[in-house]
Amino acid sequence: GAKEFVFPRSEKYPVFYHEENSSAIYIGGEAKLYYYDFATYENYTEDFPVKNEGQCMMPGSSDDSKNYLTLVEKYGEGMLVCGTGACAPTCWNLTQRKESTPWDGRGIAPFTPDSNTLVVVDGHDIYSTIKKSQQNGKIPRFRRVRGGGELYTSDTVMQNPQFVKATTLRHEEPHQDKIYYFFREDNPDKSPEAPRNISRVAQLCKEDKGGTSSLSASKWTTFLKASLICVDPVTKGNFNWLQDVFFVPASNWRYSKVYGLFTNTWGSSAVCVYSFEDIDNVFRTSRLKGYNGPNPEIKPGQCVSSGQHTPSETFKIADSHPEVEDRVEPFSPTKSPLFHNKHRYQKIGVHEVSASDGHRYNVLYLATDKGSIHKIVELPDGVQNIMELQVFSKKDPIQSMILDHKRAMLYVGSTDKVVEIPMDMCRVYRNNCESCLLARDPYCGWFNGTCQSVYLNREVRQNLNLDSWRGKCQKADIKEVDDYQNISVVPFSRYYLNCPIESHYATYNWYHNNSLIKTCNTTHPQQDCFHFIQNVSHIHYGHYVCISEEDGFKQALVKERLINRLRFMSQKGHATMTFGSWLQLLLMVVLVELFH
């Protein structure tokens, strides 16, 4: 069910925008904006050439003279498109494919392509970590560049930050609305045993009006930061390198969650889940690190009533002590990672699916550093890795992964293409009842002889809770595929036997003439169970079968009979075999031997 759109040319720094519940995607490239609709196949390209080349402070890169689009977002009634503009950052408003007059995009687009940038468009407000001037030095700031007056963070509150993601959160009272952003920064503790980086969450009040003095008038006055903890309590393994976050909103902001994806120095990954209620509590109730003085009436980080300014006394304390003592721990009751494993994940997405039992299950999509995506489901008895999708055949890095929750689609982008993948890929279970149920895939269930999507049929049988799956399928000890497939193989050649892996919880065994010759370990997700014959000889011919076994259920997935091609040919033409034919056959054997 996957579809792909290949770009007219490879793009070095692509950016992607997809509107929820649509079938189209926008891709920003070098001086071009591509549009593609996966449902109607409509596509077009808009050109955004360099108009007024700027003066690069550090010239020398070929990227300096090009306009790389760095932002494509919904803005008002149309689209906001911004690019580097050859060191002259420029933005355009795009309405029904009509470009507005270009306008100064400094602070919204960088001067040259930069990975450490964050832009949040929230209605008509725009927040950004992009510097407005090339002379601004190397101290990044979090800014409000559009809406309610420009503000930026003090230069001392973050140490070499690497920005990950930001979101806004609506409260019951508008003046309490918050901005939260997640980042890594250098650890002030330089002792050898201390981690080099600390993962953080920062808060700001959306209605912050800046300070009352001339020095603080353009500064955020409600900034506070806290540490995010992701530690396995059993092994004491610390996952301190925040890679990505995914926000799962709720109608009540307190129940909104953030899924944090962390890695450690050994290349393992962990997912820790935090609630915004816990984050809010830490900022509201914790003492400030290093501050022992009395608390002013308006506490640091507290949002004040609309139109009011934070008192200068409060701002001075927060500005010199921006970190709170308490750390944000994962969601109760365990306060530990949801899971951790040996894979190096780079991106995370979370989709909630309503199963046939009426319960809702969270499915995590995790992009690896090898161009694949692991599909992991949260179940009552823990998480289960149900599938690995190799999205790009050349293991191209995944540049972007966007989830469409309403249409249950994944949009995965590389530098060459974007792929639309349905989340309910029930065909992979080969219309086999046991495979369909044992996968414990909340999108799929068994009904009327086929493995079907819950979106098409709510009556399907599933196996998601702790009940036994036995009895939900017709009882059968071993389910055979069709009879053996005859494969003729030349002696002395190489041959691969290939068995598809459908479940990461099954054992896969290859048998040759009823003797076990290979067992596949599926603890590390892999696509297939291979058995390689380096040099085919008479002992290798015969019957091969690959059998998977899980929870007492066995099935034969592949059955092959290897036969000697030379003997097969001689038997086939035995009655009419002439002296010339024998010479040809002898010559073939000699050539094969020489070639080998």
CATH number of the domain that residue 539 is part of:
2.60.40.10
Which tens digit of pLDDT belongs to each residue from 158-197?
999 999 999 999 999 999 999 999 999 999 888 888 888 9
Output the pLDDT for position 59: 64
* pLDDT band at 514; cut points 50, 70, 90: confident
Q: Is 591 exposed, middle or buried (0-12, 13-18, 19+ CB in 10 A)?
A: exposed
Could you tell me the pLDDT band of residue 89, with boundaries at 50, 70 and 90? very high
**96 to each of 17, 77, 123, 295, how far by Cα in Å?**
16, 9, 19, 54
Is 375 within a domain?
Answer: no
Burial bucket for residue 163 (CB in 10 Å: 0-12, 13-18, 19+): buried
Q: From 130, 152, 174, give the residue that closes a domain.
A: 152
Residues 337-365 have pLDDT tens digits of 999 999 999 999 999 999 999 999 999 99
Q: Closest Cα to residue 187, out of 225, 165, 166, 160?
A: 160
Backbone angle region of 580, left / alpha / beta, with phi > 0 → left and psi within -120 to 50 → alpha: alpha
Of 345, 351, 192, the C-alpha closest to 271 is 345
CA atoms of 89 and 82, how far apart (whole Å): 7
- Comparing C-alpha atoms, which of 364, 401, 374 is closest to residue 525? 374
- C-alpha distances (whole Å) from 290 to each of 200, 300, 317, 318 are 18, 14, 11, 11
Q: Enumerate the β-bridge partners of residue 263.
A: 241, 269
Report the percent of the chain where pLDDT is more than 90: 61
Residues 22-40: b if buried by 16+ CB within 10 A, e if exposed: ebbbbbbbbbbbbbbebee
**Structural domain contains residue 408:** no
Is 441 within a domain?
no
Evaluate whether residue 398 is within a structural domain.
no
- Asked whether residue 426 is domain-assigned, the answer is no
Task: Say if residue 209 is in the same domain as residue 334.
Answer: yes
Structure confidence by residue, pLDDT tens digits, 366-414: 999 889 999 999 998 889 888 889 898 888 899 999 999 999 999 999 9
Q: Do residues 186 and 296 share a domain?
A: yes
Whether the Cβ atoms of residue 507 and residue 548 lie closer than 8 Å to each other: yes
Give me the phi and psi of 383, to 5 degrees please.
-95, 155
Q: Is residue 514 part of a domain?
A: yes
- In angstroms, rounded to a whole number, what is the distance separating the alpha carbons of residues 92 and 95? 10
Q: How far is CA 348 from CA 291, 516, 521, in A?
A: 37, 39, 26
Residue 101 in this model has a pLDDT that exceeds 90: no
Q: Give the global pTM.
A: 0.83
- Considering the domain architecture, whether residues 66 and 146 belong to the same structural domain is answered as yes
**Alpha-carbon span 443 to 247, nearest angstrom:** 21
Q: Where are the beta strands (DSSP E) in 380-443?
A: 382-390, 400-404, 409-413, 417-422
Look at the chain and report how many structural domains it folds into.
3
Q: Provide the residue range defining the domain that includes 196.
A: 159-342
